[in-house]
Chains A and B, each alone.
Chain A
Amino acid sequence: MKTIAAILFLAVLALAGHRKSFVKVLPSRAASFFFLTGTEFLLVGYLLGDSFLGILDAATLDQVRPFLIVGLGWIGLLAGIQLEWKALGMFGRTSYLWILLYGCCVLFLVSVGLYGLFHIWFPSDPQLGLAVAVLAVTALCTAQASIALWMQHVSKQKRPLGLMLQFVSSVNDVIAIVLFGLLVGFYQPAQGGIGLPLLPLQKFVLSLLLGALMGLLLLILFRRRLGEVDKVLIVIGLVLFGGGMAYLLGISPLLLHLVAGMVLANLSLKSEETFQLLMCIERPLYLIFLMIAGAYLRIGSPLVVLLAVAYALIRALSQGVAGRVFLRRAFPDAENPPTRALGWGLTSQAGLGVALAVHFHLWIADPSSLPILNITFSVLLLAILLNELISPFGLAYVTKEK
């Protein structure tokens, strides 16, 4: 009964909240910007969790696990259905190459910085590498909502900068999903799963193959003339099936559905309709993820806060340095070449970062797992909050507008 009440409560909050967030209000201060991007729902979740009100306690969170898995699949499908080769080809290979190099540079710098830092407190922890890898991969994510909101209020001449930032962020989000899919292959979900005797790389390939099969299945089903309700049911059914399968096999539902979405985007004539359908619940779904992530958050020691601040700083510095080296070259055909400071505009980390955090918690950082993994999860969430607060300064620096 409590689970049903909690789900209803979450749904009502998400539906009411998505009308208030992401609206066009001048982001004059970091605090107001924070509220515009819906990130405050992390704090709402934290209040609802075991730390305060106990509405979303551990038992309830365990019960809503299947909904979260469906949510991850939905997000993966939404991310994949955008990847239509014909449309993506508009940007030119050079851009992708430089953005890829930028991503690799950020990954390397964050990994080195965090490894040194975590090594001080967890010198011989067997999960040290995993903790660092998770934080490094999620460092690639940038909240596109923050960029889009900021760019609404800059002068027209500077709007191309916003498109460049959104493009870099979109490419890096895809890289993050793929790398996270590879990372998940190293672990079996903490609860349940059939423990496939496969190597991580084999699990990765399995994700791609199953994703392609799911995509083809959707393609076949969508060939029939269907009403909107039928399509919603098909998508929910397949995402539920795909998510459950991914959980049992210990592979990433985000990656699996990303591939399924790509198949649909490139082979179906109705991909736009499907995209619009998926978009209907994008915001409420995101707010639910924020609240659930907030409820999972545990700030047990000052070390978590310290590491979160350090992570946010290392990430911002890495983005600034990597952006200075690589991103200027990523847009050779731009009318006005981007400033060297472009990397500083990518500091906001919510959006996919929150989805990856929840994915990490569901698959790897279960409360029963090693302390370093629980700390990693909390560090990641706190850093997302911090990054939302500092990102307006980065965007203001890039666009030279207050």
Chain B
Amino acid sequence: MWLLVYILNGDRYLTEVLEELLEIGVTGASILDSVGMLHFLSQEIPIFAGFRSILKGTKPYNKIVISVIGDEQRLEQALATIDRTVGGIANGKRGILFSLPLEHLISPETKPLPG
């Protein structure tokens, strides 16, 4: 089992990414709002947008897509699909994409823990 994590800058490609994931059979994913560390810490010098600088951090701008994927082949497929959909993560500021091996998973689809 694998946890696929895609931290997307902005939400420009969000819908496309989710649609493409669905196409290859990744039917479950969660989307979280987030703010980049540098964006949060940066001292914005407002000229006309004072309210926004006061409310800095209350407006999450990045999106994190997380999904649990059962087999490695589908994971590889999902990684390639996301990379292709956003036009190549290495080519521009499209965020970062990674996966982690999962040791445990408890969900309605899994068997209950013994005991």
Contact = CB atoms under 8 A, between A and B. Distances in A.
Interface of A: 22, 24, 75, 78-79, 82-83, 87-88, 90, 143-145, 148-149, 152, 163, 166-167, 169-170, 173, 225, 228, 272-273, 275-276, 279, 282-283, 286, 351-352, 355
Given A82-B50, A273-B10, 15 more contacts: A22-B45, A79-B49, A82-B49, A83-B51, A87-B51, A87-B59, A144-B53, A145-B47, A148-B53, A166-B53, A167-B54, A173-B50, A228-B12, A273-B12, A355-B48
A69 B14 CA distance: 35
B59 A163 contact: no
Instruction: Please indicate which of the listed interface residues B44, B46, B50, B53 has the most CB atoms of chain A within 10 Å of its own CB.
Output: B50
Contacts of B47: 22, 143-145, 282-283, 286, 351
B87 to A, nearest CB: 12
21 contacts: A24-B43, A75-B48, A79-B49, A82-B49, A82-B50, A87-B55, A87-B58, A143-B47, A163-B54, A166-B46, A166-B50, A169-B50, A170-B50, A170-B54, A173-B50, A273-B11, A276-B61, A282-B48, A282-B49, A286-B48, A351-B48
Contacts of A173: 48, 50
B93 interface: no
Contacts of A276: 10, 61
A286 B46 CA distance: 11
B15 A82 contact: no
B48 A166 contact: no
B52 interface: yes
A51 B36 CA distance: 48
Q: Closest 3 A-B residue pairs measured CB to CB?
A: A170-B50, A82-B51, A144-B50
A78 B49 contact: yes
Interface in B24-74: 43-55, 58-59, 61
Contacts of B59: 87, 272
Nearest to B15: A225
B54 to A, nearest CB: 5
A149 B53 CA distance: 12
Contacts, number: 71
Contacts of B55: 87, 90
Contacts of B10: 273, 276
Contacts of B51: 82-83, 87-88, 167, 170
A279 B49 contact: yes
A166 B54 contact: yes
Contacts of B43: 24, 148, 152
B45 A148 contact: yes
Contacts of B45: 22, 145, 148-149
Interface in B4-32: 10-12, 15
Contacts of B53: 144, 148, 166
Contacts of B61: 272, 276
Instruction: Please indicate which of the listed interface residues A79, A144, A169 has the most CB atoms of chain B within 10 Å of its own CB.
Output: A144
A122 B12 CA distance: 58
Nearest to B45: A22
Interface string B95-114: 00000000000000000000
B52 to A, nearest CB: 5
A216 B11 CA distance: 22
Instruction: Please indicate which of the listed interface residues A78, A170, A352 has the most CB atoms of chain B within 10 Å of its own CB.
Output: A170
A149 to B, nearest CB: 6
A145 B15 contact: no
B49 A148 contact: no
B12 A82 contact: no
Contacts of B11: 273
B39 to A, nearest CB: 11
Nearest to B12: A228
A272 B59 CA distance: 8
Nearest to B16: A225
Contact of B49 (A22, A273, A275): A275
A16 to B, nearest CB: 17
Contacts of A166: 46, 50, 53-54
B15 to A, nearest CB: 7
A75 B55 CA distance: 19
